[in-house]
Amino acid sequence: MTNQSQRLFCQADLNYVDQSFAEPVIVNVAIRDGRQTFAGSWQDCGFELLPHKSQVQHWQEQEIMEIHYAEIAVLARQLTGCDHALVSSHIIRNPQQASLHPDLAPIRSVHSDFAASYGDLIRSRYLMDDAQTLSSLRQAGISGEDVGRARRLLILQFWRNVGAEKMDLPLAFCDARTVPQTDIRPSLVEDYAGGGFDFETLGIAPPRVKDQHQWYGFPNMHRDEVVAFRTYDSDRLGTDKPYWTPHSAFADPEVNLGEPGRSSIELRATCLFM
Protein backbone atom coordinates (compact mmCIF):
# COMPACT_ATOMS: atom_id res chain seq x y z
CA MET A 1 0.00 0.00 0.00
CA THR A 2 1.36 3.43 -0.96
CA ASN A 3 1.68 6.35 1.42
CA GLN A 4 -0.99 8.16 -0.61
CA SER A 5 -3.50 5.30 -0.20
CA GLN A 6 -2.68 5.13 3.50
CA ARG A 7 -3.71 8.77 3.79
CA LEU A 8 -7.08 8.19 2.12
CA PHE A 9 -10.28 7.07 3.82
CA CYS A 10 -11.80 6.24 0.41
CA GLN A 11 -13.12 7.61 -2.87
CA ALA A 12 -16.82 8.45 -2.68
CA ASP A 13 -19.61 10.07 -4.68
CA LEU A 14 -21.00 13.21 -3.07
CA ASN A 15 -24.21 15.01 -4.01
CA TYR A 16 -23.58 18.68 -4.74
CA VAL A 17 -26.34 21.08 -5.83
CA ASP A 18 -27.09 22.89 -9.07
CA GLN A 19 -28.55 26.39 -9.32
CA SER A 20 -32.14 25.13 -9.05
CA PHE A 21 -31.60 22.45 -6.36
CA ALA A 22 -33.70 20.24 -8.65
CA GLU A 23 -31.21 17.43 -9.22
CA PRO A 24 -28.01 16.53 -7.38
CA VAL A 25 -24.71 16.93 -9.18
CA ILE A 26 -22.70 13.82 -8.37
CA VAL A 27 -18.96 14.37 -7.94
CA ASN A 28 -16.48 11.65 -7.07
CA VAL A 29 -14.05 12.97 -4.47
CA ALA A 30 -11.07 11.75 -2.50
CA ILE A 31 -11.86 11.67 1.21
CA ARG A 32 -8.66 11.91 3.20
CA ASP A 33 -8.12 10.00 6.43
CA GLY A 34 -8.27 12.85 8.95
CA ARG A 35 -6.49 10.72 11.54
CA GLN A 36 -3.37 10.54 9.36
CA THR A 37 -3.60 13.80 7.42
CA PHE A 38 -4.07 16.82 9.65
CA ALA A 39 -6.32 19.53 8.18
CA GLY A 40 -6.14 21.99 11.07
CA SER A 41 -8.42 23.11 13.87
CA TRP A 42 -12.06 24.16 13.88
CA GLN A 43 -10.90 27.79 14.05
CA ASP A 44 -9.17 27.58 10.65
CA CYS A 45 -10.48 24.67 8.55
CA GLY A 46 -13.88 24.63 10.31
CA PHE A 47 -13.77 21.22 12.02
CA GLU A 48 -11.68 19.22 14.46
CA LEU A 49 -11.68 15.72 15.97
CA LEU A 50 -11.44 15.84 19.75
CA PRO A 51 -11.24 13.25 22.54
CA HIS A 52 -14.29 13.65 24.75
CA LYS A 53 -15.62 11.03 27.16
CA SER A 54 -19.26 11.47 28.13
CA GLN A 55 -20.93 10.24 31.30
CA VAL A 56 -23.98 9.23 29.25
CA GLN A 57 -24.36 5.45 29.29
CA HIS A 58 -27.35 4.55 27.11
CA TRP A 59 -27.95 7.57 24.83
CA GLN A 60 -31.63 7.79 25.67
CA GLU A 61 -33.54 11.10 25.48
CA GLN A 62 -33.76 11.96 29.17
CA GLU A 63 -30.19 10.98 29.91
CA ILE A 64 -28.95 13.07 26.98
CA MET A 65 -30.86 16.15 28.11
CA GLU A 66 -29.94 15.79 31.79
CA ILE A 67 -26.23 14.99 31.32
CA HIS A 68 -24.98 15.58 27.80
CA TYR A 69 -26.32 19.08 27.22
CA ALA A 70 -24.27 20.36 30.15
CA GLU A 71 -21.19 18.42 29.00
CA ILE A 72 -21.36 19.97 25.55
CA ALA A 73 -21.95 23.47 26.96
CA VAL A 74 -18.78 23.11 29.04
CA LEU A 75 -16.81 21.83 26.03
CA ALA A 76 -18.08 24.68 23.82
CA ARG A 77 -17.00 27.28 26.38
CA GLN A 78 -13.57 25.67 26.66
CA LEU A 79 -13.07 25.61 22.89
CA THR A 80 -14.35 29.09 22.08
CA GLY A 81 -13.73 31.17 25.20
CA CYS A 82 -17.33 32.39 24.97
CA ASP A 83 -19.21 33.79 27.96
CA HIS A 84 -22.18 31.44 27.62
CA ALA A 85 -22.95 28.31 25.58
CA LEU A 86 -26.61 27.35 25.14
CA VAL A 87 -27.55 23.78 24.23
CA SER A 88 -31.27 23.26 23.87
CA SER A 89 -31.79 20.36 21.44
CA HIS A 90 -30.20 17.36 19.79
CA ILE A 91 -30.73 15.08 16.80
CA ILE A 92 -30.26 11.32 16.87
CA ARG A 93 -29.81 9.70 13.46
CA ASN A 94 -30.33 5.97 13.20
CA PRO A 95 -32.57 3.67 11.14
CA GLN A 96 -35.37 3.87 13.70
CA GLN A 97 -35.43 7.66 13.69
CA ALA A 98 -35.21 7.75 9.89
CA SER A 99 -38.35 5.59 9.72
CA LEU A 100 -40.19 8.27 11.72
CA HIS A 101 -39.15 11.15 9.44
CA PRO A 102 -36.84 11.24 6.39
CA ASP A 103 -35.15 14.41 7.68
CA LEU A 104 -33.67 12.29 10.48
CA ALA A 105 -31.80 10.01 8.09
CA PRO A 106 -28.12 10.78 7.38
CA ILE A 107 -28.08 13.78 5.02
CA ARG A 108 -26.44 12.75 1.77
CA SER A 109 -25.98 16.17 0.22
CA VAL A 110 -23.12 18.63 0.52
CA HIS A 111 -24.33 21.43 2.76
CA SER A 112 -23.56 23.69 5.68
CA ASP A 113 -26.44 24.05 8.08
CA PHE A 114 -27.05 27.80 8.26
CA ALA A 115 -27.03 30.85 6.02
CA ALA A 116 -26.20 34.40 7.13
CA SER A 117 -29.82 34.94 8.22
CA TYR A 118 -29.49 32.43 11.07
CA GLY A 119 -28.31 35.00 13.61
CA ASP A 120 -31.59 36.93 13.55
CA LEU A 121 -33.53 33.68 13.64
CA ILE A 122 -31.74 32.31 16.70
CA ARG A 123 -32.06 35.61 18.57
CA SER A 124 -35.82 35.61 18.02
CA ARG A 125 -36.05 31.92 18.91
CA TYR A 126 -34.57 32.53 22.36
CA LEU A 127 -37.34 35.05 23.02
CA MET A 128 -40.00 32.37 22.51
CA ASP A 129 -41.81 30.65 25.37
CA ASP A 130 -40.33 27.25 24.60
CA ALA A 131 -39.46 24.73 27.33
CA GLN A 132 -36.12 23.68 25.85
CA THR A 133 -34.82 27.18 25.16
CA LEU A 134 -36.02 28.42 28.53
CA SER A 135 -34.21 25.55 30.24
CA SER A 136 -30.92 26.34 28.48
CA LEU A 137 -31.24 30.02 29.38
CA ARG A 138 -31.94 29.10 32.99
CA GLN A 139 -28.87 26.84 33.11
CA ALA A 140 -26.72 29.71 31.81
CA GLY A 141 -28.31 32.26 34.15
CA ILE A 142 -29.26 34.66 31.35
CA SER A 143 -32.39 35.81 29.53
CA GLY A 144 -33.53 35.80 25.92
CA GLU A 145 -32.88 39.52 25.84
CA ASP A 146 -29.26 38.83 26.77
CA VAL A 147 -28.95 36.65 23.65
CA GLY A 148 -30.14 39.58 21.57
CA ARG A 149 -27.52 41.85 23.16
CA ALA A 150 -24.58 39.53 22.54
CA ARG A 151 -21.87 41.23 20.47
CA ARG A 152 -20.95 37.94 18.76
CA LEU A 153 -22.91 34.76 18.10
CA LEU A 154 -21.11 31.59 17.04
CA ILE A 155 -22.66 28.18 16.37
CA LEU A 156 -20.41 25.22 17.12
CA GLN A 157 -21.84 21.78 16.41
CA PHE A 158 -20.76 18.42 17.77
CA TRP A 159 -21.09 15.08 15.96
CA ARG A 160 -20.57 11.77 17.75
CA ASN A 161 -20.87 8.17 16.63
CA VAL A 162 -22.72 6.10 19.24
CA GLY A 163 -23.07 2.92 17.17
CA ALA A 164 -20.76 0.55 15.35
CA GLU A 165 -17.34 2.02 14.59
CA LYS A 166 -17.57 0.81 10.98
CA MET A 167 -20.88 2.12 9.57
CA ASP A 168 -22.63 2.51 6.24
CA LEU A 169 -22.94 6.31 6.05
CA PRO A 170 -20.18 8.10 7.98
CA LEU A 171 -19.77 11.87 7.85
CA ALA A 172 -17.17 13.74 5.80
CA PHE A 173 -16.07 17.33 6.42
CA CYS A 174 -14.68 19.79 3.90
CA ASP A 175 -11.89 22.24 4.70
CA ALA A 176 -13.92 25.46 4.67
CA ARG A 177 -10.95 27.41 3.34
CA THR A 178 -11.21 25.50 0.04
CA VAL A 179 -14.87 26.47 -0.57
CA PRO A 180 -15.27 30.10 -1.70
CA GLN A 181 -18.42 32.09 -1.07
CA THR A 182 -19.28 31.85 -4.77
CA ASP A 183 -19.84 28.10 -4.27
CA ILE A 184 -22.52 28.43 -1.59
CA ARG A 185 -26.24 28.42 -2.45
CA PRO A 186 -28.78 29.56 0.21
CA SER A 187 -32.00 27.56 0.24
CA LEU A 188 -35.07 27.55 2.50
CA VAL A 189 -35.79 24.50 4.65
CA GLU A 190 -39.40 24.38 5.82
CA ASP A 191 -40.76 22.51 8.84
CA TYR A 192 -37.59 20.56 9.50
CA ALA A 193 -38.38 17.03 10.74
CA GLY A 194 -41.96 18.15 11.36
CA GLY A 195 -40.87 20.46 14.17
CA GLY A 196 -42.26 23.67 12.66
CA PHE A 197 -38.78 25.20 12.29
CA ASP A 198 -37.99 27.07 9.04
CA PHE A 199 -34.48 28.27 8.25
CA GLU A 200 -32.08 28.93 5.39
CA THR A 201 -29.38 26.35 4.78
CA LEU A 202 -26.42 26.44 2.42
CA GLY A 203 -26.16 23.99 -0.45
CA ILE A 204 -22.73 23.75 -2.05
CA ALA A 205 -22.10 23.93 -5.80
CA PRO A 206 -19.57 21.55 -7.40
CA PRO A 207 -15.94 22.67 -7.40
CA ARG A 208 -14.79 24.40 -10.55
CA VAL A 209 -11.46 22.55 -10.43
CA LYS A 210 -11.13 18.85 -9.62
CA ASP A 211 -10.21 18.26 -5.98
CA GLN A 212 -10.45 21.96 -5.15
CA HIS A 213 -12.72 21.09 -2.23
CA GLN A 214 -10.62 19.10 0.23
CA TRP A 215 -12.55 16.43 2.10
CA TYR A 216 -11.73 14.54 5.31
CA GLY A 217 -13.27 11.68 7.27
CA PHE A 218 -12.36 9.93 10.49
CA PRO A 219 -12.47 6.12 10.18
CA ASN A 220 -13.75 4.03 13.07
CA MET A 221 -15.01 6.86 15.24
CA HIS A 222 -16.09 5.76 18.70
CA ARG A 223 -18.20 7.31 21.43
CA ASP A 224 -15.27 8.75 23.39
CA GLU A 225 -14.49 11.27 20.67
CA VAL A 226 -16.42 14.00 18.90
CA VAL A 227 -16.05 16.25 15.85
CA ALA A 228 -16.60 19.94 16.57
CA PHE A 229 -17.48 22.05 13.52
CA ARG A 230 -18.48 25.67 12.95
CA THR A 231 -21.68 26.50 11.06
CA TYR A 232 -22.18 30.20 11.88
CA ASP A 233 -20.12 33.09 13.20
CA SER A 234 -21.46 36.64 13.18
CA ASP A 235 -17.89 38.00 13.30
CA ARG A 236 -17.17 36.44 9.90
CA LEU A 237 -20.23 37.77 8.09
CA GLY A 238 -19.25 40.25 5.40
CA THR A 239 -15.61 39.11 5.40
CA ASP A 240 -13.71 36.68 3.16
CA LYS A 241 -13.48 34.20 6.05
CA PRO A 242 -15.90 31.25 5.86
CA TYR A 243 -18.50 30.86 8.58
CA TRP A 244 -19.67 27.66 6.86
CA THR A 245 -18.24 24.13 7.11
CA PRO A 246 -19.54 21.91 4.30
CA HIS A 247 -20.22 18.32 5.30
CA SER A 248 -22.10 15.30 3.99
CA ALA A 249 -22.81 11.67 4.73
CA PHE A 250 -21.21 9.33 2.21
CA ALA A 251 -21.38 5.63 1.45
CA ASP A 252 -18.41 3.71 2.84
CA PRO A 253 -17.57 1.35 -0.04
CA GLU A 254 -16.65 -1.40 2.43
CA VAL A 255 -20.07 -1.46 4.14
CA ASN A 256 -23.42 -2.46 2.65
CA LEU A 257 -26.24 -0.02 3.32
CA GLY A 258 -27.77 -0.81 6.72
CA GLU A 259 -25.13 -3.39 7.64
CA PRO A 260 -24.80 -1.69 10.07
CA GLY A 261 -26.78 1.52 9.77
CA ARG A 262 -25.30 4.67 11.24
CA SER A 263 -26.22 5.62 14.79
CA SER A 264 -25.06 9.11 15.73
CA ILE A 265 -25.98 12.14 17.78
CA GLU A 266 -25.43 15.81 17.01
CA LEU A 267 -25.82 18.81 19.26
CA ARG A 268 -25.57 22.52 18.60
CA ALA A 269 -24.05 25.03 21.00
CA THR A 270 -25.05 28.68 20.62
CA CYS A 271 -21.92 30.45 21.85
CA LEU A 272 -22.45 33.99 23.11
CA PHE A 273 -19.78 36.65 23.50
CA MET A 274 -21.14 39.51 25.60
Do the domain assignments include residue 19? no
pLDDT at 5: 52
CATH of the domain at 107: 2.60.120
Say whether pLDDT at 264 is over 60: yes
The reported pTM is 0.93
Total domains, the chain: 1
CA atoms within 13 A of residue 7's CA, in its CB half-sphere: 9
**Residue 2 clears pLDDT 50, i.e. is over it:** no
Nearest to 227 by CA among 17, 22, 50: 50
Strands 225-233, 47-51: parallel, antiparallel or unpaired by DSSP?
Answer: antiparallel
Does residue 40 lie in a domain region? no
206 domain residue, yes or no: yes
CB neighbour list of residue 103: distance below 8 Å, 6 or more residues apart: 192, 193, 194
Asked whether residue 269 carries a pLDDT value surpassing 60, the answer given is yes
In the predicted model, what is the mean pLDDT of residues 54-77? Answer: 95
Exposed, middle or buried by CB within 10 Å (0-12, 13-18, 19+), for 77?
middle
- Domain housing 80: 48-273
Q: Is residue 18 a part of any domain in this protein?
A: no
- pLDDT bracket for residue 190 (50, 70, 90): confident
Average pLDDT over residues 108-132: 91
Does 159 map to a domain?
yes
Q: Is the pLDDT at 97 greater than 70, yes or no? A: yes
Q: What pLDDT sits at residue 6?
A: 58
Distance CA 98, CA 102 (A): 5
Domain-located, residue 131: yes
Q: Is residue 267 part of a domain?
A: yes
Residue 218 within any structural domain of the chain: yes
